[in-house]
Amino acid sequence: MSTTTPHEAVVLIHCPDRPGIVAQVTNCLNDVGGNILDAAQHTDFQSGTFLQRLHVSWPDQAPDVDAVDAALAELRDPLQLNWRIQWSGSLRQVAIFVSREDHCLHDLLLLRRDGQLNCRIAMIVSNHAGLADVARRFDVPFHHTPVAHSGDEQAEAVQRALLDSECIDLIVLARYMQVLSPTFVEAYRDRIINIHHSFLPAFAGGRPYHQAHEKGVKLIGATAHFATANLDDGPIIEQGVTRVTHRDRVEDMIRKGRDIERTVLARAVRWYLEDRVMVHNGRGVVFE
Amino acid sequence: MSTTTPHEAVVLIHCPDRPGIVAQVTNCLNDVGGNILDAAQHTDFQSGTFLQRLHVSWPDQAPDVDAVDAALAELRDPLQLNWRIQWSGSLRQVAIFVSREDHCLHDLLLLRRDGQLNCRIAMIVSNHAGLADVARRFDVPFHHTPVAHSGDEQAEAVQRALLDSECIDLIVLARYMQVLSPTFVEAYRDRIINIHHSFLPAFAGGRPYHQAHEKGVKLIGATAHFATANLDDGPIIEQGVTRVTHRDRVEDMIRKGRDIERTVLARAVRWYLEDRVMVHNGRGVVFE
Amino acid sequence: MSTTTPHEAVVLIHCPDRPGIVAQVTNCLNDVGGNILDAAQHTDFQSGTFLQRLHVSWPDQAPDVDAVDAALAELRDPLQLNWRIQWSGSLRQVAIFVSREDHCLHDLLLLRRDGQLNCRIAMIVSNHAGLADVARRFDVPFHHTPVAHSGDEQAEAVQRALLDSECIDLIVLARYMQVLSPTFVEAYRDRIINIHHSFLPAFAGGRPYHQAHEKGVKLIGATAHFATANLDDGPIIEQGVTRVTHRDRVEDMIRKGRDIERTVLARAVRWYLEDRVMVHNGRGVVFE
Amino acid sequence: MSTTTPHEAVVLIHCPDRPGIVAQVTNCLNDVGGNILDAAQHTDFQSGTFLQRLHVSWPDQAPDVDAVDAALAELRDPLQLNWRIQWSGSLRQVAIFVSREDHCLHDLLLLRRDGQLNCRIAMIVSNHAGLADVARRFDVPFHHTPVAHSGDEQAEAVQRALLDSECIDLIVLARYMQVLSPTFVEAYRDRIINIHHSFLPAFAGGRPYHQAHEKGVKLIGATAHFATANLDDGPIIEQGVTRVTHRDRVEDMIRKGRDIERTVLARAVRWYLEDRVMVHNGRGVVFE
């Protein structure tokens, strides 16, 4: 058996809530040799839905992947079970979209280099040429795809061909300043993570720091969320804030905000790649 | 000389920005025997306005209050100076408005008892009778003024008569769940501090924790602001946040929010009573 | 079936780590009619120990308490299982020890009144008479037990008789300024929660705010921990901090610290009463 | 007059506290054409010392630097005034010392590139060769000076020659893992900023995250401070913390700590370069 055989997996499940789910799922995985390393669960009482994240290992022998699938499939009908398995041996392909600012990009590249992000960064895509140097330093392919306007169909066709060529699993919008078309977003539903430089839902839309300054708030923030067709309204994964005062000009807020943006985005991406994030009823569920 | 003679004062000034203001104001106060204990200033470059807070003592002999006023008045024309002096010997009268929840009220009463709020709490006004006991324990007069609906003219007439009877300087809306009429608010312009249980401008209006839960945010907050005719839109004095997760139900958010609400409100009221708060162009300027 | 029949319980377990524990415990509870509402677990790899908190309901019929005990007992030998069950119908008895300051006491009393603490506050014990009034307002018996010196044997005998008379389950030291003897502490091992007004292990011992001021730190804090014979060194349950600057005098730090102290202590006590706290290898494990 | 003529300056003063200082200093600067843009002050009542930071502009004509010096010198005797002027046209030379970890280094280089640090980064000095690439990417000279042991005299002689060759004003120890000798530290008194990866004074010395994990704390932190001969005991400039739980292993703490370390260090360095930091009686005074 090769050393790359997957011996661990994360299973994310959701189904209608009812007594006995934990026991049935636990037994099911136990029967195919799995040992529960960690389990976290959440019941959404409003919708009567049970969600669970199970981190499973196969301590005795390599798992029979098909047998595991088959075992879970047997719960589909009795529990109306939905599930997803991410085997530890399988590395996800990530594309990072950027424009001119590189503070978020740098953080993601450094984290990947330091082994903190469980993925391959397969490409950097930008509507500007300026960050090609940064990509080169980290040996990541850089694609400059000029965008004439938000939702530019031709540009998006080029971008989607690039994404397809590397079977991209996750797109990270790391201060990408163009709006993607609903068609694009829908094709990568719950697989595009955006960082918005405000404490959403406050200051949705453009120039949030200008809005925050105008309003005189005492805290500014950033929000990492899944992109949806409704701009700035997708399920929230993580948020952070920092204090400002009347002394902070818009440019001070921009500077202070950068630390929050990159930290919040990096955390959201890491959690996603650790299969800690689910979307339920338009809300992000994070098994931290 | 009596022990109540004021020997300290806080002077708040604002005027068009121009070179030399600090020197002129400092000299003016020096000439009438004042020593600058602390000075904080802010220039709003957008409007070209200079704002300053000066904490002044009279170390050698008691100040001649009229002479200080006259000295500052001489700067009115050359600098277009606006100013306000609060002498340390003069105690402000505060009215606290409440409804059913008492966590903010308790905090203000305890802080006052412990000498942390530089004021006299002259009355508690409520549209419910329930908190009369709390008022009695702290020996503060309690007035139950039933309110038929938001902006109830009769109720407001009663309330304003009460406020007049004690020459109230500051009204604190400590989770008072009625909307005051524009007329009432205007009469106490920049002298009504409200606590809103959300991170404004997010979730303005009613039931903010329900809105926050619906939206799936990862941080909830509270905002202390001056009341204006535009509901929940007055100048912000202070804000705070705390983390929530998908596990928090609305009632958990309400519980977690209480600690933020009372802390943020207490801080705003304390700052106001220390003359650290100015309003400029609809924004709160806080000389912390 | 009476309305007081317990239909829910929290089970805290710990045992040596090995494959299959989750499945066995889950099955065991399932077999006696229990449904897992929530489960959180932690494996301490250093010591090879598995710890779990299970929130269990009996949706179909009232649990047979003896049968549940017997079922868990069958896992004792095969898993070397240690467990503790807290049935929802059983209310713990709490004693609060205070000295002169009442900000923590007030918070606990208000939280209890508002249904946020799942316990009965059976008594307030103090080495000073000053807070008798506060106790009376909340209808809690107050016992003034003067203490001649730290570890005063006579005083502790009186205190322990009081605690015994009400079968006290938990003692909360809410700014109680006397040191309890090792004998006393040992008798209530892992059942005495203390609030220390510093960010332990920094500034252990007396006058922590004076130490913090002397040192010029930029953050001050508070620590809720179990009391042990080694002063200020017991397992930590919760900590919090707040910013200070060079402008803050010791008395400002004391004031700012109060908000942290009461919040941190209240959180620790609430978590304990929700059976979220375990002690393992001298460290607090909190299933938040 | 050339465009590089300095038209702004920051003046830092300290002297024994007495009435009238603000007026005299303000007048002095006003007399030589200076306009106070911003002033912040602090009186340390324990030692009876007055400290002030003045941001001064010359709106009408370029300042006569000698005249400004002479004017301030006239206050030396009457006020026992100490002062330091930093003219806006003069750029400080900074050396960054590193070992193997580059998260703090990257942040400083990016901030400098983005114009957020008012300095020239003249060199990177390291006891390892590993970060030469990072230096090259940012076009900063890199010097590999192997260090045999802490306080290695030969290595320090090489380092000091390098520092002298570029007239270094400030040394930043950006996770430099060697201890500098007291002689070295004394030569750059109050001009070496170190980042320690703990919330000092907790966990001074080596392997602070291991200590924090052992102790079971719920918050970890980082401290930027001036280096002194007493290791980890110099005046604190800035501190930050982040939450951890029992689930965090030492390596998780190290990862979480990195964000705090780089943010706290960057803030301290920026404040220093904006002349916001003074040292008084072993404590850092930061005019934020």
Query: B with D: how many residue pairs have Cβ under 8 Å apart?
Result: 44
Summarize pLDDT for A30-74 with one digit per residue, the tens.
999 999 999 999 999 889 999 999 999 998 889 999 999 999 999
Cα separation, C178 vs D198, whole angstroms:
30
Q: Find the chain A residues whose C-beta atoms sit closer than 8 A to any C-beta of B.
A: 42, 45, 199-203, 215-219, 221, 235-241, 245-247, 249, 280, 282-286, 288
- DSSP label at residue C127: S
**Which pLDDT belongs to residue A260?**
95
- Residue C6's pLDDT is 59
Residue-by-residue pLDDT tens, chain C, 288 positions = 344 455 999 999 999 999 999 999 999 999 999 999 999 999 998 899 999 999 999 988 899 999 999 999 999 999 999 999 999 988 999 999 999 999 999 999 999 999 999 999 999 999 999 999 999 999 999 999 999 998 899 999 999 999 999 999 999 999 999 999 999 999 999 999 999 999 989 998 889 999 999 999 999 999 999 999 887 889 999 999 999 999 999 999 999 999 999 999 999 999 999 999 999 999 999 998
* Residues of chain B contacting C245 with CB distance shorter than 8 Å: none
At residue B205, the pLDDT reads 84
Q: Give the tens place of pLDDT for each residue, A167-221.
A: 999 999 999 999 999 999 999 999 999 999 999 899 988 899 999 999 999 999 9
Query: How many Å lie between the alpha carbon of D253 and the closest alpha carbon of chain B?
Result: 20
B199 neighbors A199 (Cβ within 8 angstroms): yes
Contacts of residue B219, Cβ cutoff 8 Å, sequence gap at least 6: A199, A221, A239, A240, A241, B199, B241, B242, B243, B244
Dihedral sign, CA of A50, A53, A56, A62? Answer: positive
Do residues A238 and A208 touch, judged by C-beta distance below 8 A? no
* List of chain D residues whose C-beta atoms are within 8 Å of the C-beta of residue C190: none
The maximal CA–CA distance of chain B, rounded, in angstroms, is 64
Q: What pLDDT sits at residue A230?
A: 84
> Using CB atoms, which residue from B110, B116, B259 is nearest to C106?
B110
Strands of A192-196's sheet, edge to edge? A142-144, A119-126, A92-98, A170-173, A192-196, A219-226, A236-243
Active-site positions of D read: 232
Cross-chain residue pair A116–D255, CB shorter than 8 Å: yes
Q: Which residue has the tokens 């609430």?
A: C270
pLDDT of C2: 40
**A254: pLDDT confidence band, cut at 50, 70 and 90?**
very high
Task: Check residue C1 and give its pLDDT.
Answer: 36
Q: How confident is the model at residue D152 (pLDDT cuts 50, 70, 90)?
A: very high
The span from the CA of B283 to the CA of B279, in Å, is 6
- pLDDT band for D142, please (50, 70, 90 cuts): very high
d(CA D278, CA D260): 23
Q: Are D166 and D93 in contact (CB under 8 A)?
A: yes
pLDDT score, position A206 = 87
Q: How far is C4 from chain D (nearest CA, A)?
A: 35
* Nearest in space to A175 (alpha carbons), one of A276, A257, A244: A257
Using CA atoms, how far apart are residues C47 and A5, in angstroms rounded to an integer?
28
CA nearest D266 in A: which residue? A259
Q: Which residues neighbour D259 within 8 Å (Cβ) at sequence distance 6 or greater?
A: A263, D242
Q: For residue range D177-207, list pLDDT tens digits in order.
A: 999 999 999 999 999 999 999 998 999 888 9
Average pLDDT of chain A is 94
Task: Indicate the residue type of B123.
Answer: M
Are the C-beta atoms of A41 and A50 separated by less than 8 Å? yes
Q: Tell me the whole-structure pTM to 2 decimals.
A: 0.94
pLDDT score at B110: 95
From the candidates D117, D259, D267, which should be mutated to test the interface with A, based on the most A CB atoms within 10 A?
Answer: D259
Contact A243, A9 (CB under 8 A): no
Higher-confidence position of A112 and A230: A112
Evaluated on CA atoms D94, D95, D98, D102, the torsion sign reads positive
Separation CA B268–CA B261 (nearest Å): 11
Q: What is the DSSP letter of C205?
A: S
**Strand pairing of A283-286 and B8-16?**
unpaired
pLDDT above 50 (res A146) = yes
Identify the helix (H) or strand (E) that includes residue A69.
helix A65-73
Is 80 exceeded by the pLDDT of residue D3? no
- What's the burial of D93, exposed, middle or buried (CB within 10 Å: 0-12/13-18/19+)? middle
Q: What is the pLDDT at residue A138?
A: 94
Q: Which distant-in-sequence residues (6+ apart) come within 8 Å of C78 by Cβ?
A: C24
Locus of tokens 């790391």? A174
Low-confidence ranges of chain B (pLDDT < 50): 1-4
Examine residue C201 and say whether the peptide bond preceding it is cis (omega within 30 degrees of 0). Answer: yes
Residues of chain B contacting D, Cβ within 8 Å:
19-20, 22-23, 26-27, 29-30, 35-41, 43, 59-60
Chain C: partners with 3+ C-beta pairs within 8 Å: A, B, D
SS3 content of chain C, % helix, strand, coil (to 5): 30, 30, 40
Helices (H) and strands (E) in chain D, counts: 9, 13
Residue D281 has pLDDT above 80, yes or no: yes
Query: Active site residue: B107, B152, B169, B232, which one?
Result: B232
Active site residue A232: yes
Percent of chain D at pLDDT > 70 equals 98
* Domains detected in chain D: 8-87 (3.30.70.260), 92-286 (3.40.50.170)
Q: How confident is the model at residue A2 (pLDDT cuts 50, 70, 90)?
A: very low
| SS3 at position C174 | coil
Chain C residue closest in CA terms to D202: C202
Give the span between the Cα atoms of B190 and B14, in whole angstroms. Answer: 16
- Kindly determine whether residue C116 and residue B255, on different chains, have CB atoms separated by under 8 Å: yes
- pLDDT score recorded for residue A3: 43
Catalytic residue, chosen from A232, A233, A259, A275, is A232
Q: Which stretches of chain B are assigned E, i.e. beta strand? A: 8-16, 35-44, 49-57, 82-87, 92-98, 119-126, 142-144, 170-173, 192-196, 219-226, 236-243, 277-280, 283-286
